[in-house]
Structure 1
Amino acid sequence: MSTTVLSARALSVLLGDWRHHSGTLAQALADRVRLLVLDGRIALGARLPAERQLADHEGVSRTTVAAAYARLRELGYLVSRRGSGSVTALPAGDAPAFDVVDRPDMLDFSKATLPALPAVVDAAAAAVARLPQHLGLAGFDLYGLDEVRQAIADRFTARGLPTSADEIMVTLGAQRAIALIAQALVGRGDRVLVENPSYPHALEAFSSAGARLVGVPVSTEHGWDDEAFEQLLPRSAPCLAYLMPDLHNPTSATMPAAQRERVAALADRHGTRIVVDETMVDLAFDPATVQVPMASCSPRIITVGSVGKSIWGGIRLGWIRADRETIGELARARPAGDLGSPTLEQLLLSELLQRFDGLVAERTAQLRAGEQLLRALLSERFPEWRLPEVDGGLVLWTNLGRPVASEFALLARAEGVQLGAGPRFSIDGAFERYLRLPFCYPETLTRRAVDAMERAWERLGPARADVPDDDALVTTVV
C-alpha cells in the first residue's frame, strides 16, 4: 500500500494558526498534529515532512520541530521507519474521532446526531408489508421508486417550488448525493465555492474530486458576506458553489430571501451552479420561518436533502432535486459508486414521508428543550463563552473567547468527551476560537459532557496575556 506524503505546505494548511498555546511551541505543534490525526484530517500511515522542511516553512527552529516529533513518537502518534521518515500512527487502544469509540467511558460529543424516533419501528413494519409488491423487480434502479420520487417532489411543491418526480433522484443519503454531484460535475483543478466554516464531509467530497476550495465567510452574527460573493464569483470562476442557506452547519445561520436572490443571480451571471444542502431545513423551531427552497431563485440550482438529521441517521437515504437533464447526467455517473438505493429502505422512507409533519414537530420540540438545557448549563459554567442565538438546528457554534479550541479538545478527550474543535469545519485551519456543541443529546449525556468540559477548562488555565482577544473569524482562500 502506498504511503501518503504530506508536504510542508500541505501540513501547514492543516495546522492553521497553531502557535496560540499555553505551553511551548514544540508542545503546541505536537498537540495540533495529534488532534489532526485523531480527527482523521491526517490519515494514518501518512509521512510527515522532514524536520528541516517544516521548520523552514513555519518559521521556527529545527529544534522545535524535532522536539514536537519526539513528543508525538513518545505518545505513539508517530513511528520512525527507515526510508519512510516519520509516519503517523495511533497508540494502542486509541481511535480517530470520527470512528466508533470502543472505550466505554468516552462520550462522542463531536457528532450532531439524534436517536431514531419511535415511529420508525411502525413505519418499518408497514414497509415490510409492502415489499412483496416489489419483489418481481430487479432491484437495481438509478433513479429511485416512482412513488418515493413523487412523494419527495410533492414536498417541494408544498413548500412553494413546483417539482415533478422526474426531477428527483433517490440517493444513499445526502453525503452520497454530494459525492455524486462532485464526481459528475467537478473536474480536477476546478474551483468550488464553499462556506467557511462548513460541513467537513462535504468539503472532503469536493476535495476528493480534485476541486480547489474557495471559502466565503459565514458567521452567527452576520451571516453570509455579500461582498465576498461579489468578489469571489467573478474572480475565481468556480464551477459549483456548495451552500447550506437553511440552518447552516455549524453556525445555524439562515440566509435571508433577498440575499438568496442576489447570490443566485450572481452565480447564474458567472456560470456557477449552486448546490444547496437542505439537510437541516426541517429543524427550524418555528415552521413558519422555513423559507421557500432556494432553488426557486434559479432553475440551475441543485438541491440535496435527506431525513438523516430530522428522523434518523440510520435511514441511509437522501435525494437530489435538479432539472431533468442534470438528473440524467447524474444517473449516468452513478454506477461507478453504487447501482441504486435499496427497495425496502425506500418503502420505509415513503411511509415516513406520509407522516413527516407530525414527526418533525415531535423532533423540534425535543431540540428546543435540548437547546435550552445546553444554553443554561454553558452560561452557568462558562460565563466567558459567547453563545449564539439560534432558530433551530442541532448545534451551538460557541465562541470560547480565545484561540484554544484544539488544545481544549485534547484536554476534554482526556476527561472522557470528544469535541468538534472549530478547525475541523474550516478549509484553512481557522476557527480556533470555536467549538461546535450539539444540543440534540439526552439530558444525562449533555450534563456529563458539560461536566467533562468544565474539568478540561480548569486544566487549560487562564488566558495568556500575549494572546490577542480579537474577533477575526475567517480568512478567504482563492
Structure 2
Amino acid sequence: MSTVALGAKRLASVIGDGPWKTPAFESLAAAVAAAITDGRLPVGARLPSERELAVAVGVSRTTTGRAYAHLREQEFIVTRRGSGSIVQLPSVPGGRIDHLLSPSGADETEIDLTCTAPVAAPEILDAYERALSRLGAYLPGTGYYPSGLPVLRELIAERYTSRGAPTDPDQILITSGAFGAAAIAVRALLDVEPHEVRNRGAARSTSRVLIESPTYPNAIATLEGAGASLVTYPLEFGANGHHWDVDALEQLIRQTRPRSAYLIPDFHNPTGSLLPEDQRPQLADALSRHRVVPVFDESLIDLGLEEDSPPTPMASLVPDSVTVGSVSKICWGGLRIGWMRIPRHRVDHFASSRLGLDLGAPVLEQLVTVELMGSHEAIVAEARSRLRAARDSLAAQVREWLPDWKLVIPPGGMALWAELPEARSGVLSIAARNHGLGLVAGPNFAPAGGLDRWIRLPYTVPDAELDQVGPRLAAAWNDAKSMAGRGPLGRARIVA
C-alpha cells in the first residue's frame, strides 16, 4: 500500500472536531480507532503531527500526545522515526480475513447471502433454444473468437452509442464476464508499453492503482494478483449514505500519482451508491488532468431502482478510459458473458494482452446473449421491479428485527450495506452459519483492512427465503454479541 499523508483538517472532517467527553484523550483516540476500523482511515495513511491535530480539533497538544500513545498501545498506529504515525490494524489470531471466502458447503436449508446473483430470467431457456438453432452456422470454423462474435460486438457498441458514448464495434472486446474483463484490463494497463514509459517519465509508478474502499472483493484479488500497488480511497459516509468527495480523491491522486484506477460509480458494490450527475464531469476532469487511466465497472448500470434518468456513462466524459460490463447481474450468473469498451488507441494492446489469458468466450453463450439483447428492456424492467420489492422487504425486516442497525436505502444495486452497532461482522458471519444463513463479513470488501462494522445483505434470493432473513439474522446477531474475538478466519473463495 502507498503511504498517504493525511492533513489535520481532513482527519478532523472524518472524526469530528469535538466537543470531546472526559477524558478527552480517550474520546479522541476512540474516534480515530473507530474510523480505522470502519475503513474511513486507510491502513498505511500517515496521520498529522500531534501539534497540527491539536489545533484542528480544539484540544491541547498534551491531549493529542496521550491519544496517539493510547492508539499505539492498542496497535491502531505505529510511530516510526522520520515517518510519523502510520495507521495499521491490530493483529488478530489467524491473520486478516481473505478477500475471497472459502466454499461454504451450504445445505439446502441455508439461505445464501454470500453473493449478489439473480436466478435465471424467464427468457433464458428460450434464448438458449434459439441460439442452438443458430450455432450450426459457426461449427465449420475453429470456434475461436478472441474479440467476440461480430454480431454481439455490434449490439453492445450500439447500446453505448445510444447512451451518449459513441462506440465502434472494434472498440468492444467480449470476455468471460465483467470479472474477466476487469482482469484483462488490469493486466493490459499494468503491462506498460515502452513508449508510454518514456512519455510519462519515471515519476509515475506504473503499478499504482486507485481503488475505492469498500469495493468488490474480486477486484482487490485481481489487482493484487497482477502485482498492483493499491492506493485506497475510503468513500465518505454521512446521513445520506456513502458518497464521493472528488476534491479529496484528487488530492490523493496528486500525492500518489497512480497509473490507473478501478472505480464503480454506478450503483456501487457493495454500498449501492450512485455518483451524482454534477460530480461526473468533476471526476472525469481530475482523472484526465492527472493522466489516470480508469477502469469503470458498469456491472450494475441497469439496476437503478428509482425512477431517475439513466446515469451519464463515464466513457463519454473520460476518452482514455475502459468500461466493463456483463449480462450476469441482469439475466443469470451462469451466463458468463461480459465485455469491455476500450479507447481506440489501446485496442491492439488490450487484444494482445487478452490472448495471454484465454482465446475467447464460448460461442453458444455469446449467441444466447445476442438473443437476450432483443428483449433487454423487458428483462431489465422485470429485474428492477423484482429487486425494488425485495430491497424494500429486506430493509423493513432489518428495521423490525434489528432496530439498532443503521441502513441507508440505496438507489440501486442488489444489496443493502448495513452498519452494525459494534465491529463484529466477522463473528456475525460465523454465527450466522448456525442459523442457516451465509454472509460475507465487511473486511472482505476492504482493500486495506477495516470495515468490521459493516455487513452486505443481498436481496437477490427467492421471496420465500428472503422472508426468513430477518429472524435468522437477529438470532445470529444475538449470538455474535456474546462471542469472543472476531471468530476464525477462512480460506478464500470468489465473492460475487
Q: Is the pair's TM-score, using the shorter chain for normalization, greater than 0.5? A: yes
Aligned pairs (5 A) from 1:265-280:
265-280=285-300
Describe the SS at the equivalent of 1:117: coil
Is 1:99–2:103 an aligned residue pair?
yes
Equivalence for 2:116? 112
Decide whether the 8 Å contact of 1:217 with 1:228 is kept in 2.
Answer: no
Provide the C-alpha distance between the structure 2 equivalents of 1:300 and 1:189, rounded to a whole number of angstroms. 16
Is 1:430–2:450 an aligned residue pair?
yes
Which letter does structure 2 place at the counterpart of 1:276?
Answer: F
Aligned pairs (5 A) from 1:53-452:
97-99=101-103, 101-186=105-190, 190-218=207-235, 219=237, 221-286=241-306, 288-452=308-472
- TM-score, normalising length: structure 1: 0.75
Provide the C-alpha distance between the structure 2 equivalents of 1:257 and 1:137, rounded to a whole number of angstroms. 46
User: CA 1:330–1:57 in 2, change beyond 3 Å: closer, same or farther?
Assistant: farther
Give 1:351 shift: 0.5
Give 1:324 shift: 2.2
Decide whether the 8 Å contact of 1:189 with 1:212 is kept in 2.
Answer: no
Describe the SS at the equivalent of 2:474: helix
CA deviation vs aligned residue, 1:308-338 (integer Å, no higher than 9, x gap): 1111111101000012232221110112210
Give 1:378 shift: 0.8
Provide the C-alpha distance between the structure 2 equivalents of 1:148 and 1:189, rounded to a whole number of angstroms. 33
Decide whether the 8 Å contact of 2:315 with 2:321 is kept in 1.
Answer: yes
CA deviation vs aligned residue, 1:119-166 (integer Å, no higher than 9, x gap): 000111111111112122221121111110000011111111111111
Provide the C-alpha distance between the structure 1 equivalents of 2:412 and 2:125, rounded to a whole number of angstroms. 26
CA deviation vs aligned residue, 1:251-292 (integer Å, no higher than 9, x gap): 111101222211111111111101100000011124643112
Decide whether the 8 Å contact of 2:304 with 2:411 is kept in 1.
Answer: yes
User: CA 1:100–1:327 in 2, change beyond 3 Å: closer, same or farther?
Assistant: farther
Decide whether the 8 Å contact of 1:143 with 1:170 is kept in 2.
Answer: yes
Provide the C-alpha distance between the structure 2 equivalents of 1:279 and 1:460, rounded to a whole number of angstroms. 33
Describe the SS at the equivalent of 2:320: coil
Give 1:58 shift: 5.3
Decide whether the 8 Å contact of 1:108 with 1:417 is kept in 2.
Answer: yes
Moved more, 160-169 or 257-266: 257-266
Describe the SS at the equivalent of 2:286: helix
Describe the SS at the equivalent of 1:242: strand
Unaligned 5+ residue runs, structure 2?
1-36, 38-72, 77-91, 192-204, 485-496
Provide the C-alpha distance between the structure 1 equivalents of 2:185 and 2:396, rounded to a whole number of angstroms. 40
Give 1:421 shift: 1.4
Provide the C-alpha distance between the structure 1 equivalents of 2:248 and 2:234, rounded to a whole number of angstroms. 7
Describe the SS at the equivalent of 1:373: helix
Provide the C-alpha distance between the structure 2 equivalents of 1:205 and 1:463, rounded to a whole number of angstroms. 33
Give 1:295 shift: 0.7
Describe the SS at the equivalent of 1:372: helix
Decide whether the 8 Å contact of 1:264 with 1:274 is kept in 2.
Answer: no
Provide the C-alpha distance between the structure 1 equivalents of 2:367 and 2:306, rounded to a whole number of angstroms. 29
Q: Cα RMSD (Å) of the superposition?
A: 2.8
Provide the C-alpha distance between the structure 2 equivalents of 1:287 and 1:307, rounded to a whole number of angstroms. 21
Provide the C-alpha distance between the structure 1 equivalents of 2:140 and 2:222, rounded to a whole number of angstroms. 35
Decide whether the 8 Å contact of 2:157 with 2:169 is kept in 1.
Answer: yes
Which letter does structure 2 place at the counterpart of 1:282?
Answer: D
Give 1:105 shift: 3.8
Provide the C-alpha distance between the structure 2 equivalents of 1:460 and 1:176, rounded to a whole number of angstroms. 36
Moved more, 99-108 or 247-256: 99-108
Give 1:374 shift: 0.4
% identical equivalent positions: 36
Give 1:424 shift: 0.8
Give 1:451 shift: 2.3
Q: How many residues align?
A: 383
CA deviation vs aligned residue, 1:44-81 (integer Å, no higher than 9, x gap): xxxxxxxxxxxx9959xxxxxxxx86xx7xxxxx9xxx
CA deviation vs aligned residue, 1:104-126 (integer Å, no higher than 9, x gap): 44332121111001100011111
Describe the SS at the equivalent of 2:302: helix
Give 1:462 shift: 7.9
Provide the C-alpha distance between the structure 2 equivalents of 1:328 and 1:139, rounded to a whole number of angstroms. 21
CA deviation vs aligned residue, 1:342-382 (integer Å, no higher than 9, x gap): 11111101011111000000111110110111011111101
Decide whether the 8 Å contact of 1:101 with 1:108 is kept in 2.
Answer: no
Moved more, 282-291 or 330-339: 282-291
- TM-score, normalising length: structure 2: 0.73
Unaligned 5+ residue runs, structure 1?
1-31, 33-55, 60-67, 73-77, 79-87, 89-95, 465-478
